[in-house]
Amino acid sequence: ERRDGDQPEFLQAVREVFESLEPVVAKHPEYERNGVLERFVEPERVVKFRIAWTDDEGRVQVNRGYRVQFNSAIGPYKGGLRFHPTVNESVIKFLGFEQILKNSLTGLPMGGGKGGSDFDPKGRSDGEVMRFCQAFMTELQRHIGQFTDVPAGDINVGAREIGYLFGQYKRIRDEYSGVLTGKGLEFGGSLARTEATGYGLCYYTQEALRVLRNDSFQGKTVVVSGSGNVAIFAIEKAQRLGAKVVTCSDSNGYVYDPKGIDLDVVKDIKLGHRGRIKEYAERVPGSEYHEGCRDVWTVPCDIALPCATQNEIDGESARTLVDNGCTVVCEGANMPSTPEAIAVYQGAKLLYGPAKAANAGGVAVSGLEMSQNSYRLSWTFDEVDAKLKQIMEDIVANSLDAAKEYGREGDLMLGANAAGFVKVANAMVAQGIF
């Protein structure tokens, strides 16, 4: 707090993790002797840089870029790049911090990192996005590499942006390597990476429902927020598992479709022409559009899957969800629930799947993309999907084992924090103090 008092999102993420790690630290005095917690919250490196580029009118635009290389105890730094006007050091540090534990939970050898820029791609032409990505990579390339730091996508960084970033890295370094994940299939990308976070979220939720409640998605009403990469494939998998998904949203508002969201229409709007979700109600009779994305949580449901952004469910929204009969919240977005919302879930004994476990499927398949790049071969969709499903089921099992070990049976949040932390902490102790 003394050093980072001006970084509210980062402090929020650290507090949540450290509170639940108390029983873990009490059981491991060597962590205290080795200063593990103090070292754990200080990134190994933070890079902050200028990105200058030229817009379509020939004007010079300047943005700020970040890469936080947080922890490399168990593998090269790994984590996405976010392009959004709300990006600042606090947001990137909270994401990088969560990423350490998430990557550890996947069981794959990846450290934690995150990056991005305050660049807003909304309304920008393809050429502008390309020139921005090239300018961004011109600086970033000196800090990353296939054995040191392997970025991926996040909000507003999808296949198009990864393609431009990869092209610029290759051009400058004259090197063809798996330095980014989420690449196009023609140049080293993995099948099922696009679907991985959303599908993984549903595999996790389905498994937690099975183990803890002997239940499933079948016949459930589901509320999803967002309509980006994570939301679209969460809706797809939830529907295939027998649920009725009745909402999706963007930053302007949400749509409610009592018959169940027609995903082809959403894909056409969002993936087809980067349109606004409002269009859905104009195209699908019987559906409604509501201005203001936060009210999506007033729609009654059995299961809520927040898939848009941080702090999108506050205490009041959480209470509304519970009052309307919701008994499951699993997080596709990173830190979508405020601390007050989490307290409401705990009070109401919801099945709560925290982001770092529930949305780890994206980075897990990124890890599998790195493996395929190293082998110089590609697995089939079904092979990758089966590995993803297994990883998500293992995350549920490992979280529940850890929760039991520390005396909080069934607590998926404590379990995820503890299971993710212990592996990294042990590696930090073994590697000596630095």
Q: Which helix (H) or strand (E) holds 49?
A: strand 45-54
> For ligand NDP, which is the closer residue by CB, 24 or 334?
334
Q: How far is the CB of 99 from ligand NDP (least distance, A)?
A: 9
> For ligand NDP, which is the closer residue by CB, 28 or 237?
237
**HEC string for 341-385:** HHHHHHHCCCEEECHHHHCCHHHHHHHHHHHHHHHCCCCCHHHHH
Q: How far is the CB of 406 from ligand NDP (least distance, A)?
A: 26
CA 288 to centroid of chain Cα atoms: 28
Catalytic one among 78, 93, 102, 114? 114
CA distances from 47 to 53, 113, 129, 140, 209 (A): 19, 11, 22, 9, 41
CA 416-418-419 angle, 5° bins: 65
> For ligand NDP, which is the closer residue by CB, 85 or 407?
85
How far apart CA 236 and CA 262 sit, in angstroms, is 10
124 token code pair: 């920008």
How far apart CA 416 and CA 17 sit, in angstroms, is 10
> For ligand NDP, which is the closer residue by CB, 177 or 251?
251
Give the interface with ligand NDP as residue ranges (CB under 6 A).
Answer: 153-156, 197, 226-231, 250-252, 293, 307-309, 332-334, 359, 362
DSSP 139-163: HHTTT-BTTTEEEE-BTTB-HHHHH
Q: How far is the CB of 359 from ligand NDP (least distance, A)?
A: 4
Region class of 226: left (phi > 0), else alpha (psi between -120 and 50), else beta: left
> For ligand NDP, which is the closer residue by CB, 278 or 319?
278
Q: How far is the CB of 205 from ligand NDP (least distance, A)?
A: 15
89 token code pair: 């050091």
Q: How far is the CB of 197 from ligand NDP (least distance, A)?
A: 4
237 is an active site residue? no
Q: How far is the CB of 252 from ligand NDP (least distance, A)?
A: 6
Cβ-closest position to ligand NDP: 228
Determine the length of the chain.
434
> For ligand NDP, which is the closer residue by CB, 235 or 403?
235
Helix (H, G, I), strand (E, B) or coil at 58: coil
How far apart CA 140 and CA 320 sit, in angstroms, is 43
How far apart CA 110 and CA 66 sit, in angstroms, is 20
- Helix %, strand %, coil % of the chain (to 5): 50, 15, 35
**What residues does 328 pair with on adjacent strands?**
303, 351
CA distances from 426 to 31, 35, 127, 416, 429 (A): 8, 12, 47, 16, 5
Q: How far is the CB of 183 from ligand NDP (least distance, A)?
A: 13
> For ligand NDP, which is the closer residue by CB, 40 or 233?
233
**What residues does 145 pair with on adjacent strands?**
149
Q: Which residues are catalytic?
A: 114
